[in-house]
Amino acid sequence: MNRLRRVWRLSPAIPTCPVLYPVTTTFTFHRQISPRATDRKMQATIEKYPRKNDVYIQYGTAGFRTKAELLDHVVFRMGVLAALRSRAKGSMAIGVMITASHNPEPDNGVKLVDPHGEMLEVAWEAIASRLANASDSEFQEELAKVAIQTGVDVNKPALVFIGRDTRSSSERLGEAAIAGVKFYQGTAVDHGQVTTPMLHYYVYAHNMNLTPDPQLEDSYFSKLASSFISLSKEITTKKNYSPFVDFDGANGVGALAIEKLLPRLGNTLLLTVHNTDTVTPSTLNKECGADYVKTHVAAPKGFEPTPNKRIVSVDGDADRVIYSYVDSQKQFHLMDGDHIASLVAGYLMEMVKDSGLELSLGLVQTAYANGNSTKYITETMKIPVAFTSTGVKHLHHKALEYDIGVYFEANGHGTVVFSNNARNLVLQAMNDEKLDESKRRVIMRLKQVMEVINSTVGDAISDMLLVETVLKARGWSMEDWEAAYQDLPSRLMKVHVKDRNVIETVDADRKCSKPDGLQKEIDRVVSSYSFGRSFVRPSGTEDVVRVYAEAETQVEADKLAVEVARVVYNNADGVGPIPS
């Protein structure tokens, strides 16, 4: 009896939550002798979200992602984990976002947002995977182990913000997340349909006390709109710039968000919004949106492009953006993340120089960056480029090494991060009465640019406003922007293999270390192509191996991709038809 009382004292604030108890002999004893009604009730709640099969699921580059019907238990458990994480972080808000981004509608996913609006700390990804894969009967024990391992103070309150995209399964999964938070005695705040970057911002703004919770949405849109309008007023160079833009909402949550932003922009940006059907499930990302445009190298369907008019496409959760246009000869032109990166970095570099501030600026890319973009950025713009593995978290982390770190993946994920040093120097200079007037104006502009950027994570809408600012400042049309450099022809392919994880990569995905001999064969194939480059990596979001190839001509790039895909097929137990 004494031992039992000791158990109760461990968690006075949450007496009905035995999963928080350390797994000790005391606990085992207690459970064996007296299975309490609360234990049974909690087990019943867990079993309302049963793990339906024993296929291992992993917290990957963008959280968990698979068929929506397999995710209820995962999302419930992520609600629990988010509440635990909130306690581990001194009760700061943690975000849970339900989305499968650009994937087809039947898929869904879940990812956690950390207190400063950043992605979940890498060390916790393994914890998330452990909890997601525990059997229903082991879950409470596994959770108790995690609570001990992470040293959470169970007496602290926990706060979790939930957001979701427009998928038909997202509402149900959102409820599972809320149930998970409540199961762990936390407070869940349902923010409904929001873009991924909006949820990141809400978490950050709440934890930094930037704005009262009921005004989070208003604060997000006002911050973007007011800084963009101020910048627009400042910039007088218009030349070839036109404010007319076609916006492709991918029939997803980005379409809902842009409708809220539009009235606040006045006539600074004249957007026509297309692909806004968020009610018919089959339309999401279907032949439209950033992923479609980038992978098919084609204009989005759903409207007739006007010659030479900018098209801005976002993906299903609006965290990536791709620009494009169709010229008067009906030729399609793609302006992907690499073009956005060079445009933005060039503008920022110029401002840094003109301001006289001593700030380091660098750009981060992945192996998917077109070779000619890297060449242009390093050789012509003289901006240092660093490479990381694929996945926003890797680029973001690397970008933090600079005072101004610009990062973009070719697929349109990206943003700019600023160090505390950069923010402080800008603020100091603004208050420096002796500062030359022209420098002050540049510094004021830099400050406004910082405001228009959502630095917590890549944000399609904020990125669009940034690109528009630069194009306007330069007085550029799409053709002017495109003239900076020409992409080397490239080709992406997928190879189906028995187990994609037999392929391991090093050197920012540019080389593979396993299986033995594969890299040697790839090198041999690549060596016979002029300007040839190719690499392979297991996808983090699909059960395939991805092959990237570029070469001097499109025919050569296509040929190289097929040759390398065959090498992968032969060396990594390919399944299905031989790549052709």
DSSP 574: B
* 3-state class percentages of the chain: helix first, strand second, coil last, to nearest 5: 45, 20, 35
Q: Is 358 annotated as a binding residue?
A: no
Minimum separation from the CB atom of position 8 to Mg ion (A): 45
* CB hemisphere CA count around 486 (13 angstroms): 5
Is residue 101 flagged as an active site residue? Answer: yes
Minimum separation from the CB atom of position 464 to ligand 16G (A): 17
DSSP 24: S
Nearer to ligand 16G, 87 or 111 (CB): 111
Nearer to Mg ion, 186 or 252 (CB): 252
Q: Are 321 and 340 in contact (CB under 8 A)?
A: yes
Spell out, one character per residue from 349 to 388, where the chain touches ligand 16G: x when CB under 6 A holds, - when not: ----------------------------------------
DSSP 91: T
Whole-number Cα distances in Å, 19 to 12, 407, 519, 559: 13, 41, 48, 57
Q: Are 472 and 240 in contact (CB under 8 A)?
A: no
- Among 546, 556, 564, 565, the residue binding ligand 16G under the rule CB under 6 A is 546
With 0-12 / 13-18 / 19 or more C-beta atoms within 10 angstroms meaning exposed / middle / buried, residue 199 is: buried
Minimum separation from the CB atom of position 144 to ligand 16G (A): 30
Spell out, one character per residue from 309 to 338, where the chain touches ligand 16G: x when CB under 6 A holds, - when not: ----------x-------------------
Q: Which of 357, 360, 330, 362 is nearest to 345 (CA)?
A: 362
Nearer to Mg ion, 317 or 409 (CB): 317
Q: Which does 474 bind (CB under 5 to 8 A by kind): ligand 16G, Mg ion, none?
A: none
Using rule CB under 6 A, residue 515 touches ligand 16G: no
**Beta partners for residue 505, in sequence order:** 512
Q: Is 167 annotated as a binding residue?
A: no
Using rule CB under 5 A, residue 101 touches Mg ion: yes
Using rule CB under 5 A, residue 463 touches Mg ion: no
Using rule CB under 6 A, residue 121 touches ligand 16G: no
Q: Binding to Mg ion (CB under 5 A): which residues in 309-328?
A: 315, 317, 319
- Among 99, 411, 505, 571, the residue binding ligand 16G under the rule CB under 6 A is 411
* CB hemisphere CA count around 378 (13 angstroms): 13
Minimum separation from the CB atom of position 277 to ligand 16G (A): 23
Q: Which does 317 bind (CB under 5 to 8 A by kind): Mg ion, ligand 16G, none?
A: Mg ion
* 3-state DSSP assignment of residue 518: helix
Whole-number Cα distances in Å, 431 to 352, 425, 444, 543: 17, 10, 10, 54
DSSP letters spanning 219-271:
HHHHHHHHHHHHHHHH----TT---EEEEE-TTSHHHHHHHHHHHHHTTSSEE
Q: Which of 11, 34, 91, 101 is catalytic?
A: 101
Q: Binding to ligand 16G (CB under 6 A): which residues in 56-75?
A: 61-62
- Among 392, 473, 561, 565, the residue binding ligand 16G under the rule CB under 6 A is 392
Q: Which does 223 bind (CB under 5 to 8 A by kind): Mg ion, ligand 16G, none?
A: none
Nearer to ligand 16G, 532 or 538 (CB): 538
For residues 316 and 319, give the distance between their C-alpha atoms in angstroms, rounded to a whole number: 8
Q: Is 538 annotated as a binding residue?
A: yes
Angle at 31 between CA 30 and CA 32, to 5 degrees: 95
Q: What residues are labeled active site?
A: 101
Note the residues at the interface with Mg ion (CB under 5 A).
101, 315, 317, 319
Note the residues at the interface with ligand 16G (CB under 6 A).
61-62, 101, 319, 390-393, 409, 411, 413, 539-542, 546
